[in-house]
Amino acid sequence: MALKLYSEKRNFKNTPEPTAKKVKAGKTLEFVVQRHNASHLHYDFRLEMGGVLKSWAVPKGPSLNPKHKRLAMMVEDHPYEYRKFEGEIPKGNYGAGTVEIWDKGTYSPLTSSQNKVETQLLKELKSGNLKFVMKGEKLKGEFALVKLKTESKRQNEWLLIKHRDQYSVDEEYSSEAYPSLTAQKDSKVTGKAKKESKATTVQKKTPAITLNRPGRFSKKVHLENYVKPMLAKETDVPFDNPSWIFEIKWDGYRSIAETGKDLKFYSRNGISFLDQYPEIAVELKKIKSSLILDGEVTALDKDGTPNFQLLQNFDPSRAALVYYVFDILKKDDRNLTMLPLEERKEILRETLKSINNNVIRYSDHIVGEGKKFFALVSEKNMEGIIAKNAQSDYVEGARTSNWIKIKNHKGQEAVIAGFTEPRKSRKYFGSLVLGVYEGGSLKYSGHTGTGFSDKTLKSLYDQLSALVTEISPFKEKIKTNMPVTWVKPKLVCNVKFAEMTNEGIMRHPVFMGLRENKPAKEVMNEKKKKVNQLLQNK
């Protein structure tokens, strides 16, 4: 196959893919594996040979397990330039979808012969039995591509097989569990201008990739076997108790890590985090022993304060990712879940001390004095504390009263600016659209759909119905999930919330009741109000 077929399938005015060009081979032969999220997700396995890239589409992706014989469909030759290609192939074009470089490197034939390297490879290719050694970042060691001898018309079916060597593994291997090199690179250069290439110009149309990438891959990696973390009940009141310990409630994503040979790192629902948090995955990979750790992925700002918003829009120049570990379930072959928590934490502390990794940190606790600790945490504007019975077992997936979260809710007054249509069985309205005054105009500050009893739903609805107006009280356009009925901004309510974003939007505010006799115009962002007062008193 020459590059004719490659060109025939593509219109280079509409796709950022490189045009067909043969090149003279360099001294080393290169390979690339591209993750191609097209109508069907597959991995394109390409070996440089004779000035082009010999190409196979591997639906399941390459594996390092010799038992996995991956079907590889030979496709048309691709130009040598294609090894650098990553980006979006626009809709309507051949192979429309996203291409990411998953692995790259050099390769050489396994058997040495009198022939020139490429002559040898082309000979093996023709015979349907290609053996080679890969030097990539993920794919290493000996591999074979073996053509299936089918009588049928399907002449292009091959198997990609890893040979047993020091790089092969015995566990299940899923390429999806490992981030593409594109993803790793993106997370390092977020915010910086990328190299100008035809591919990235097209890529710009897609939103910037942040470390929190829900839906980054059309297919989330759901693990089949995973540990469900133990959960906590909730209360508002801190307490003291000498047989309890108190930890900081980290504001991030709960995650379990299974370290060792077959690294797993995932959310409480078993969705792999290996792609989402490559910075942490890389550090976890360094742990050789097999541990099961329970903790929270947290973004710390420059002052070392956890900040959920920084995690959501993660930018390595502004924040550091840390995996705070507060429990250990397994060490080597030893199940630790039946040990009392205080013993598990001691083992964890020692284990992490020996690992000595600044990204994977021990989440310490204080004993007995929950009230003082809560006051301290609240003062620091942190989310709250977790109280844990020091003698308790670790019970997978259970919400027990041995773990209790005590949240530091902040109070805020807010003006009701509208209400949304109810969903499902809810009567009257879905949520309240809230605002606060800033410089004389009402500014959106979030919406709350919780905290109402049936009685308050009805009484609020009656009061709001009398205030309905066609005009939004906001200057800005507000996005809501459901249609909004605007009201005159007269009613003021109290809400509690866990955190306010830098834009002054409350996260998960809870309705606490109407605030009577309060002029709406006096409702401001409490935090900013305090700052203003301080400035005035100076």
- Alpha-carbon distance 523 to 221, whole Å? 45
In the complex with Mn ion, the residue whose CB is nearer, 44 or 86, is: 44
Number of residues that bind Mn ion (CB under 5 A): 2
Query: Cβ 4 to Mn ion, closest distance in Å?
Result: 18
Neighbours of 261 (CB within 10 A): 10
Comparing CA positions, the residue from 153, 141, 172, 152 lying closest to residue 70 is 172
> Do 505 and 446 meet the contact criterion of CB atoms below 8 Å apart?
yes
Q: Which of 95, 92, 51, 91 lies closest to 75 in space, CA to CA?
A: 95
Q: How far is the CB of 37 from Mn ion (least distance, A)?
A: 9
Residue nearest to Mn ion (CB): 36
The distance of closest approach from Cβ of residue 83 to Mn ion in the complex, given in angstroms and rounded to an integer, is 13
Instruction: Give the C-alpha separation, 369 to 242, whole Å.
Output: 7
Q: Segment contacting Mn ion (CB under 5 A): 7-15, 41-49, 217-225, 488-496?
A: 41-49
Contact segment (CB under 5 A) with Mn ion among 40-48, 121-129, 165-173, 491-499 equals: 40-48
- CB 327, CB 340: distance < 8 Å: no
Choose between 74 and 319: whose C-beta lies nearer to Mn ion. 74
The DSSP secondary-structure symbol of 276 reads T
Candidates 28-36, 226-234, 251-259, 300-308: pick the segment binding Mn ion (CB under 5 A).
28-36
Question: Does the protein bind Mn ion through residue 124 (CB under 5 A)?
Answer: no
Minimum Å distance from CB 76 to Mn ion?
10
Q: CB of 84: closest distance to Mn ion in angstroms?
A: 15
Query: What own/partner pairs with CB < 8 Å and gap ≥ 24 does 66-70 have?
Result: 66/161, 66/162, 66/163, 66/164, 66/168, 67/170, 68/161, 68/162, 68/173, 69/159, 69/160, 69/161, 70/159, 70/160, 70/161
CB of 502 to Mn ion, least distance (A): 41
With respect to Mn ion, which residue has the nearer C-beta, 95 or 451? 95
List of residues 6+ apart from 406 with CB closer than 8 A? 234, 235, 236, 237, 238, 249, 370, 374, 384, 385, 386, 387
C-alpha 196/C-alpha 87 separation (Å) is 12
Nearer to Mn ion, 44 or 76 (CB): 44
User: In whole angstroms, how close is the CB of 42 to Mn ion at the nearest point?
Assistant: 6
Determine the interface stretch with Mn ion among 32-40, 208-216, 406-414, 415-423 (rule: CB under 5 A): 32-40
DSSP H or E stretch at residue 409: none
Residues 6+ away with beta carbon under 8 Å from 492: 413, 414, 415, 416, 514, 515, 518, 519, 520, 523
Comparing CB distances to Mn ion, the nearer of 17 and 44 is 44
Among 17, 44, 77, 103, binds Mn ion (CB under 5 A): 44
Tell me whether residue 76 or residue 499 sits nearer to Mn ion (CB atom).
76
At closest approach, how far in Å is the CB of 515 from Mn ion? 60
- Output 36 or 54, the one with its CB closest to Mn ion: 36
Name the active-site residue from 249, 264, 345, 388.
249
- For residue 344, the cross-strand partners are none
**10, 32, 35, 36: which one contacts Mn ion (CB under 5 A)?**
36
Tell me how far apart the alpha carbons of residues 96 and 435 are, in angstroms, rounded to a whole number: 43
249 carries an active-site annotation: yes
* Residue for token pair 């109290």: 494
Secondary structure element (H or E) that encloses residue 165, with its range = none
Q: Which tokens is 383 given?
A: 């989310």
User: What span, in angstroms and rounded, lies between the C-alpha atoms of 212 and 307?
Assistant: 13
Region label for 446, one of left (φ > 0), alpha (ψ between -120 and 50) or beta (otherwise): left
Interaction pattern, residues 76-95, with Mn ion; x per rule: CB under 5 A: --------------------
Q: Please name every residue paired with 97 in a beta bridge, in sequence order, or none if there are none.
A: 89
Short-list 314, 506, 485, 490, CA closest to 410? 506
Give the shortest CB-57-to-Mn ion separation in angstroms.
5
If the CB atoms of residues 100 and 275 are measured against Mn ion, the closer one turns out to be 100
Phi, psi of 171 (to 5 degrees): -80, 170
Closer to Mn ion by CB, 86 or 383: give it. Answer: 86
Q: Which residues bind Mn ion (CB under 5 A)?
A: 36, 44
Which residues does the annotation mark as catalytic?
Answer: 249
